[in-house]
Amino acid sequence: MHYNINFPHLGIHLEHVGKSISVFGFEIAYYGIIIGTAILIGFLIATSEAKRTRQNPEDYLDMGIIGVICGIAGARIYYVAFSWDMYKDNLLEILNLREGGLGIYGGVIAAVITVIICAKVKRLSAPQIFDTIAMALVNGQMLGRWGNFFNREAFGEYTDSLFAMQLPLDAVRSSDVTELMRKNIQVVDGVSYIQVHPTFLYESLWCCAVFILLFVYRKHKKYEGELFLLYLFGYGLGRAWIEGLRTDQLLIPGIGLPVSQVLAGVIVVVTGVMLLYLRKNHKRMPFLTGGKIYEPMPDKPVGKKRPKGKDRLFK
């Protein structure tokens, strides 16, 4: 197997990009290292947001441990469910995560269910929790996509665009190689390369933009849950486009449509409608405002000493 990865139009030629690193004779996949790093940074982001919004960071450590386990399980179940033909004859392979195979939407769905249950048990605000972990989730997706880079997976159809990526033919799964790629195989120094869209890069950059949007807007949100809705809308918008470029799509049985692309489209429509509706009507929903209404203090209170601060809190 050859390990070169090239971006010819950008002048980038990586001579040896392995899939793992050896530590004391034990092979550790870069995919796992990246996922683990993303999880740790996600914890830091969530607990930092919890402190900023005067919540208890320890609640997020507790929920985070459960959420990570459930999220990875959900992401794997989602992937296996729509790739059953790959695993039906070797069920133990389902447990092998070293070669990738996580469906992001499965992880998000599992995370949502986990938050709702934990919020109920701990008597916390689920919408507030969703906002607190929104940036942590998109960070995980932004970093996690680089695991696909090392695994030579999740790439798109043939392209000769500026960001075109060349991968050795013997380093990718044959099922991901299309006829168009085969017709445009390039041979360099005796090695056959396919040239494809680096969709992992597109999605990572898109998630970075969504992360920046959430970071800038978080202090200006109107109600609890708005950041999470913006995350779902923003990520879904990019995924609906990027998924259409990929050659390893998970398809809906009997229909043949890409499940992640369809789901992304549905999420964009639903969250878009919710964002428009709640923008004007969130004040009618106490569970989104914590049951609190802030009103300005009069300039000269009558009969009472003016309290400290610019605002008075009424419940």
The predicted model gives 33-40 an average pLDDT of 93
Q: Are 224 and 288 in contact, with CB atoms under 8 Å apart?
A: yes
- pLDDT in the model for residue 101: 76
**Cβ atoms < 10 Å from Cβ of 59:** 18
Q: Which helix (H) or strand (E) holds 191?
A: strand 191-196
Looking from the CA of 148 toward its CB, the CA atoms found within 13 Å total 23
- pLDDT in the model for residue 204: 97
Whether 218 has a binding-site annotation, put simply, is no
Whether the pLDDT of residue 298 is over 50: the answer is no
- pLDDT in the model for residue 99: 65
**Distance of alpha carbon 228 from alpha carbon 154, whole angstroms:** 25
- pLDDT, one tens digit per residue, over 248-296 is 888 888 888 899 999 999 999 999 999 999 998 888 888 787 644 333 3
**Alpha helices per DSSP H over the chain:** 30-52, 57-81, 84-87, 104-122, 126-151, 179-183, 199-217, 226-242, 259-281, 286-289
The predicted model gives 294-313 an average pLDDT of 45
- Classified as helix, coil or strand, 303 is coil
At residue 264's C-alpha, the angle toward residues 262 and 270, to 5°, is: 105
- pLDDT in the model for residue 297: 40
Whether the pLDDT of residue 47 is over 50: the answer is yes
- pLDDT, one tens digit per residue, over 200-223 is 999 999 999 999 999 999 999 999
DSSP summary character for residue 193: E
Whether the pLDDT of residue 172 is over 70: the answer is yes
Looking from the CA of 146 toward its CB, the CA atoms found within 13 Å total 16
**Residue 302 banded pLDDT, cuts 50, 70, 90:** very low
